[in-house]
Amino acid sequence: MKIKRFWKILTYTLLIGYGLVTLYPFLWAVMASFKPYSEIIGGGLSLLPKAPTLENFSYIFTRDPLFPRWILNSFIIATSGTILNIIFNSMAGYALARLSFPGRKQMFLIILAVIMVPAQILLIPNYLIMKSIGILDTYNALILPGAINFGYIFMMRQFFVNFPKEVEEAAQMDGLSRTQTFFRIVFPMAQASIATQGVFVFLGLWNEFMKPLLYITSPEKYTLTLGLQSFQTQNATQWNYIMAASVVSIIPILILYIVLNKYFMKGVRIGGDK
């Protein structure tokens, strides 16, 4: 019993220590965004700023006219892409789970195979396709190629496979069509899986860097990740401004996670049960 307790204490000690080591750089970055430049370059690992200031945030929003535009661009792209993913992935997952049509099993196997393909392989083919149809350097270049995700189609399919058929049968007896049943009954009841999908899709689109780097050339159309690289190039040694810009970039993700945390955790548990 003592040995078991010892290993338990040791495990928790190591986990807490690892958590603190991992969390410290993040906390330092947040605190550094409130420090003047002289305090940052002065050295030391102190977290709390000696002379807190909001001048860093004022600078990035007032001195750099494109920074608010980059935030808006990322928000439009991430929000639009997330909505399209939720709708299309859920519809595709429901069709694979509930509808009978020729080639359904083969299509499901193809989806499983495509999941294994690294996304980087598709960057150049997507670039050539978008160039041929003339949507490079537009929002569509970042939204349309990522409007569906095979991994989340698979996740939604697994959820709908175990969805109670009695609910759908009752809806059909009430005169609802298959489409009406999906959008009015099934879709609202899948909110946990949808929230989980939404958080990951939004996070992926918000943090995407390689695609904007390849597909976007106009500075006013940069996403926040691409804009941060440009901002860092212009302010290479101004770590106070860079830290402030980085902190601003993670605020939407934190807000989204806080708002959807209840559904997100429920969706994770459902995924684990499956």
Residue 86: the pLDDT is: 94
Residue 87: the pLDDT is: 94
CB atoms within 10 A of CB 204: 16
Mean pLDDT throughout 8-35?
A: 88
Whether 166 maps to a domain, the answer reads yes
CB 192 within 8 A of CB 80: no
Q: Which two tokens stand for residue 20?
A: 């603190």
Q: How far apart are CA 14 and CA 207, in angstroms?
A: 30
Mean pLDDT throughout 72-85?
A: 94
Q: Of 86, 83, 64, whose CA–CA distance to 224 is shortest?
A: 64
Total domains, the chain: 1
For residue 43, pLDDT over 70 is answered with no
Whether 128 maps to a domain, the answer reads yes
Q: How far apart are CA 228 and CA 203, in angstroms?
A: 16
Q: Which two tokens stand for residue 34?
A: 């409130």
Whether 191 maps to a domain, the answer reads yes
Whether 102 maps to a domain, the answer reads yes
Residue 212: the pLDDT is: 92
Structure letter (DSSP) for residue 50: S
Q: How far apart are CA 134 and CA 136, in angstroms?
A: 6
Q: Which two tokens stand for residue 91?
A: 């519809």
Whether 222 maps to a domain, the answer reads yes
Whether 18 maps to a domain, the answer reads no
Q: What is the CATH number of the domain that holds 239?
A: 1.10.3720.10
C-alpha dihedral (245, 49, 258, 270), degrees to nearest 10: 100
Residue 260's Cβ-side half-sphere holds a number of Cα atoms within 13 Å equal to 21
Provide the domain limits for residue 248: 67-268
For residue 265, pLDDT over 70 is answered with no
- Mind listing the pLDDT tens digit for each residue in 152-199? 999 999 889 888 888 888 888 888 888 888 998 899 888 888 888 888
Q: How far apart are CA 256 and CA 261, in angstroms?
A: 8
Whether 116 maps to a domain, the answer reads yes
Least confident of 66-80, 154-168, 227-241, 254-268: 254-268
Polymer length of the chain: 274
Q: How far apart are CA 108 and CA 100, in angstroms?
A: 12
Q: How far apart are CA 171 and CA 144, in angstroms?
A: 33
Whether 172 maps to a domain, the answer reads yes
Q: pLDDT grade, residue 121 (50/70/90)? A: confident
For residue 81, pLDDT over 80 is answered with yes
